[in-house]
Amino acid sequence: MKHSHRFLIKQIAIVSSMLMLHVGVFAQQELITNIPSRTTQSLNGKWQYIVDQYETGFYDYRYKERAEDDREAYWNSDIPDNKLDRKEHGYIDKYSINVPGDWNSQDAKFLYYEGTVWYKKSFDYRKTKASNNVHLYFGAINYRADVYLNGKKLGMHKGGFTPFNFLVPDSVLKAKDNFLVVRVDNKRYADEVPTLNTDWWNYGGITRDVKLVEMPAASAIQDYQIQLKPNHDIKNKEVEGWIKLNTSSNNEKVTIEIPELKIRQSFVVKNGIAKVAFPLSTVELWSPRNPKLYTVIVASQSDRVEEKIGFRTIEVKGKQLLLNGNPIFLRGISMHEEIPQQIRRAYSEQDAIQLFGWAKELGCNMVRLAHYPHDESMTRLADSLGILVWSEIPVYWTIDFTSKAVLAKAQGQLDEMIARDHNRASIIIWSVGNETPVSETRTGFMKTLLETAKAKDPTRLVSAALEVNYQSEENLRTIDDPLGEYVDVVAFNEYLGWYGNGTPESCRTAHWATKYNKPVFVSETGAEGLGGFHADSLTRWSEEFQEWYYKEQVSMLKRMPDNFIGISPWILADFRSPRRNNPTYQEGWNNKGLIDQQGRKKKSFYVLKNYYSELQNKYE
């Protein structure tokens, strides 16, 4: 335990230093977790905005970043001092936008817009306790955010799908009429994560919740992990984890309570961190069939938080995937964070209920949240519904695997994804990427991410969605990507009968194997079918072709080797993509969904649902 703990802290320090180099002097504060249990004030609602395509508010006419006190900078007041005062920017209610929410879906002029938009929100705030600290917390902003309060820069963050927060200095925060401005830039760059080329819509904006979070200035609970110790006798269950305070305290005591189990344990803090270990002899284990959650209370001398936590183990043993020591088959589905009927980014608990409702009706016990961390409402709802989760960072296709700076950005997003959700029982797999091209440099890059995830959170499995070659010898297709040596589950995307040569009949003679003695998971498969377009099964783009594709896939999957442990077809619902430009059958949509653009189930939905019903009867 001592060795693993030291290694964990070392890894956190490495990632933190990388982030400092990445964002410069305005490195964001370490993430505050479990926001729902904190004292908060929401800043959601209407925000005024300025579209700044030429970035006039950020750069002067020589294209140099403006000084903080530059009156023409858009983070400073837009109110003229007198009638002679020249102001060439202004925030008015006529130009308002909803937060959270993407800008693309809120006004037609934003549909394809990629660039800078300035957001402004006025608010009042009085602390509940004068000695407390106040932090400004963002659930996610896509992609770069520069944050200013009352003309002072609080910080900058990059990464479109993970949370971040900044300490608000007492000297900056006012009781009345605070002037909060956020510069949001969603332009794509070759040296970012994701890179220039993706197959999903680049929704811009402040896409998740914004909150002021109030915490004690000293001995506040910054973060904690309370999970079952992995790789042990399931009959002798033990919690292993840690509690981190926001100050480097020594000899202070922190406590963990689980009232339902009559547990109250105290631990001593050293250098701001308390190591946690205690037995759980009577615990009811969390599973899809029984998603039991316990109220867990964590307290220090000045702070107290609580949340619902489930206890379970996930491990690989030989060719099997074991949940709580028992083999499990993953009846999954991949999904984007998108509501197709409204053509927008999903962000709310109600959105999560819709998406998971479809998945449950399909018969799923698992979802792959692709290709980036989804809103926290998704993972928290997955806990309560008993849905297993694969969570992923957007290391997608051909990012710059030679760049140490890009690796640092990927590690930063991985760190933020794990920090937010490492107490979610539903999450069983951290994924570090999708369909990355094989090379020695890429494998080293991805291996580093896998090792980072394992060091950060040894209680879960790690994987990545590998890309397969459709050429084969005598119809035997072998998964031999060298990254397979380092993952816990060998996951691969296959589209036999949709991409490459051939039709869905190609599945009839196909056989799959891997050189690694590990569980195999089909992380994607699918074909496009335009909702409502009906023809015979040989007509590509029709619902009937997609239905045929799934029938052939199901027949092939029934012949998979004994290390086959699950599948997450692509995809639950149609989603927007600028890559999809067939004027008749796509028009900017990827129509591989089992549910169409209007929320209607396609014929393929029922093929997969019947297969999952058979599997459920077989494995449960």
pLDDT digits (tens, 9 = 90+) for 105-115: 999 999 999 99
Q: Given a cut of 70, is residue 16 above it in pLDDT? A: no
The pLDDT > 70 percentage for the chain reads 94
pTM score:
0.94
Q: Is 505 left (phi over 0), alpha (psi -120 to 50) or beta?
A: alpha
Residue 441 or residue 25, greater confidence: 441
Q: Are 397 and 433 in contact (CB under 8 A)?
A: no
Q: Given a cut of 70, is residue 3 above it in pLDDT? A: no
pLDDT at 573: 98
Class of domain 233-312: mainly beta
pLDDT at 28: 54
Q: Are 169 and 149 in contact (CB under 8 A)?
A: no
Q: Where does the chain hold its CATH 3.20.20.80 domain(s)?
A: 325-619
Which amino acid, residue 25?
A: V
In whole angstroms, how large is the CA radius of gyration of the chain?
A: 25
Element at 149 (helix H, strand E) = strand 144-149
* Cα distance between residue 98 and residue 88, in whole Å: 24
Nearest to 465 by CA among 434, 427, 428, 436: 434
Q: Where does the chain hold its CATH 2.60.120.260 domain(s)?
A: 31-214
Q: Are 442 and 401 in contact (CB under 8 A)?
A: yes
pLDDT at 34: 98
Cβ neighbourhood burial of 604 (10 Å; 0-12, 13-18, 19+): buried
Q: Are 433 and 465 in contact (CB under 8 A)?
A: yes
Query: How many helices, marked H, and strands, marked E, lie in the chain?
Result: 7, 35
Q: Given a cut of 80, is residue 25 above it in pLDDT? A: no
The pLDDT > 90 percentage for the chain reads 90
pLDDT at 17: 39
Cis omega (within 30 of 0) for bond into 194: yes
pLDDT at 476: 87
Q: Is the dihedral of CA 391, 567, 290, 353 positive or negative?
A: positive
Q: Given a cut of 50, is residue 262 above it in pLDDT? A: yes
CB atoms within 10 A of CB 376: 23
Work out the pLDDT band at 473, boundaries 50, 70, 90.
Answer: low
Average pLDDT in the chain: 93
Q: Given a cut of 60, is residue 46 above it in pLDDT? A: yes
Residues 101-143: tens digit of each pLDDT: 999 999 999 999 999 999 999 999 999 999 999 999 999 999 9
pLDDT at 475: 81
Question: Apex CA 501: angle with CA 497 and CA 506, to 5°?
Answer: 45
- CA torsion angle 101 106 111 112 (round to 10): -40
Class of domain 31-214: mainly beta
**The token pair that represents 69 in the structure block:** 């006190």
Nearest to 519 by CA among 315, 313, 319, 366: 319
CA–CA distances in Å: residue 490 to residues 399, 448, 473, 499, 564: 21, 17, 21, 21, 10
Q: Where does the chain hold its CATH 2.60.40.10 domain(s)?
A: 233-312
Nearest to 527 by CA among 565, 558, 493, 561: 493
Residues 304-332: tens digit of each pLDDT: 999 999 999 999 999 999 999 999 999 99
Give the DSSP letter string of 437-479.
PP-HHHHHHHHHHHHHHHHH-TTSEEEEEEE--S--BTTEEEE
Q: Given a cut of 70, is residue 427 above it in pLDDT? A: yes
Cis omega (within 30 of 0) for bond into 100: yes
**The token pair that represents 113 in the structure block:** 């817009």
Residue 235 or residue 536, greater confidence: 536
Q: What is the DSSP letter of 65?
A: B
* Cα distance between residue 119 and residue 91, in whole Å: 9
* Cα distance between residue 259 and residue 294, in whole Å: 8
Q: What architecture (CATH level 2) is domain 325-619?
A: Alpha-Beta Barrel (3.20)
pLDDT at 523: 98
Residues 324-376: tens digit of each pLDDT: 999 999 999 999 999 999 999 999 999 999 999 999 999 999 999 999 999 99
Cβ neighbourhood burial of 517 (10 Å; 0-12, 13-18, 19+): exposed
Residues 556-573: tens digit of each pLDDT: 999 999 999 999 999 999
